[in-house]
Amino acid sequence: MTTYPAASELDHLDDVAVLQHLEAANRSMSGDLLRDPVTLARGLESTYRMRPHLRVIGEALADVGRGLCPRLMIFTPPQVGKSTTVAEWFPFWWLCLYSMDRVAVTSYGDDLALRRGKTIRGYVEEYGEEYDLHMKPGSGAMQDWEVTRGGGVRSVSVGKGLTGFDVNLLIIDDPHKDRADAESEASRRALHDWYSSTALKRLQPDRNAVVGIQTRWHPDDWAGRRLADEGRIEEGGRWRVIHLPAIADPKFGPDPLGRAAGEPLPHPKIPTRNRRALKAWWADMKRTSIVRDWHSLAQGDPQPAEGALVSDELLRMLRDTTSKVEPQKIAVAIDPSGGGRDVAGIVGGFLGDDQRVWITHDRSAAMSSADWSTAACLLAHETNAAIIFVEWNFGRDMCELAIRTSWETLQREGRIPADVLMPQIAPVRAKQGKLLRAEPVAQQMVQDRVRLRGVFTDMEREWATWMPSDPDSPGRIDASCILVYGLIPEANKGAIVHAPLPTSPTSSASRQPSPSAGPYARRIAK
């Protein structure tokens, strides 16, 4: 920390000595700001808002600058300050330390890359003198400029512009324009080829680093291919990954901020202590995003669409909160996998007088047997369910015992009135094998025998991304299958037709709905 001389210490000094003391203090303060890019940004720019996740990012970038981790990826939701920090302040910080180095800032488009280059140049012109950093006379191009000591910045779109330019620091800032670009095999191939054949070949042997920040649109996007080819540091690979999802999730490993599951990510424009506002902000993003976009944009968890049993579009069509329907049998279904490791599926719904299954609740979460049985009992009481379906195949007796114990405990605690009878516990003998179990329910969705009484983002994501080749199916899928089998037993009978299901309504033009098919099935068949 910088320590300024007290006024009494300067009283006996002449003006020249006082000036020397003050200049030394200013130099020391300027040096303190170079601890990491975030400290520098906060010290020089009054509008830069410090947040805990930016501190984590800043420290990781400082490690890159010190040569401790020359390959770094950062995944966060949009608009949380990562690009400003990584693609603008970090190059300026790097030049303050290594003014002879060359920095390349690349992005999906020339305009975005040029904007980054202009911003970095502005920092050099406004703050560079403190660090003996000066623009080279005649260096007028905004996308390619130099400082007097030989270093400089070139800012270009990915795929071009680096030939003949030596690179010490390469920044990849959102290399994919959008989902369509990332899902184009030709675009991905061109990007991978450019990175391998052009970008990496410009790195210098004396000092080099690569930092990537992006939205994870596709499993084989720029970051996905690098991780597949070179691996993560903790797995013996090359890349350090700072993964900061909007909502903390144990599936991604230890959270860099130490957040518990379900905790929100800070935001530069929301006070960190205002957890209610943070949760509301991310909840609104989740509510207004399609399932795949939420998991890509906010969670950094790209999900493939090809080969899934049902499509995002079909699931959106099945949402129905306005139709009037009278429940005939209300039920809760449980997939008791869990033990605190996997998601225990707890789904509620009813069979309507229209002979459809309506899914009304999803209380699935990672929890222990005591927790999932309690959650299931509370949901059954809340919905006035007459029956709790459990899977016959695995742990039937254990499941029944856990439910009965939890119901008695909740009544003793007064959370369920003592005069309320426990619902019937009914086992469902589902077909062996995940595909044999899930495919008939997917068919029921196509035939408009299942509807969603609302938006169930996590459940829809599982249905729209689970592949028949996956060794396991998620708890929400299993629980919703058990619910459908319990309420429509005929769905679990007879032979299963293994015809490929449509991945979008337009791909099923040749399908002819049965006379009893509902409007959704008829729309799909058009």
25 touches 244 (CB < 8 A): no
Structure tokens at 150: 């030989």
Q: Poorest-confidence range of 350-354, 391-395, 450-454, 510-514?
A: 510-514
Residue 335 has pLDDT above 80, yes or no: yes
- pLDDT for 170-199, tens place per residue? 999 999 998 888 888 888 889 999 999 889
Set out the domains of the chain in order of their start, with CATH numbers: 49-287 (3.40.50.300), 312-525 (3.30.420.140)
Give residues with Cβ within 8 angstroms of 462, minimum separation 6. Answer: 473, 474, 476, 477
pTM for this model (two decimals): 0.64
Return the closest-CA partner of residue 354 out of 390, 382, 386, 328: 328
Most trustworthy range by pLDDT among 29-43, 140-154, 377-391 = 377-391
pLDDT per residue as tens digits for the range 469-501: 565 668 899 899 999 999 988 776 633 333 233
pLDDT for residue 9 is more than 60? no
Instruction: Report in angstroms the alpha-carbon separations of 469 from 221, 432, 466, 475, 480.
Output: 21, 15, 8, 16, 19
- Count of residues in the chain: 526
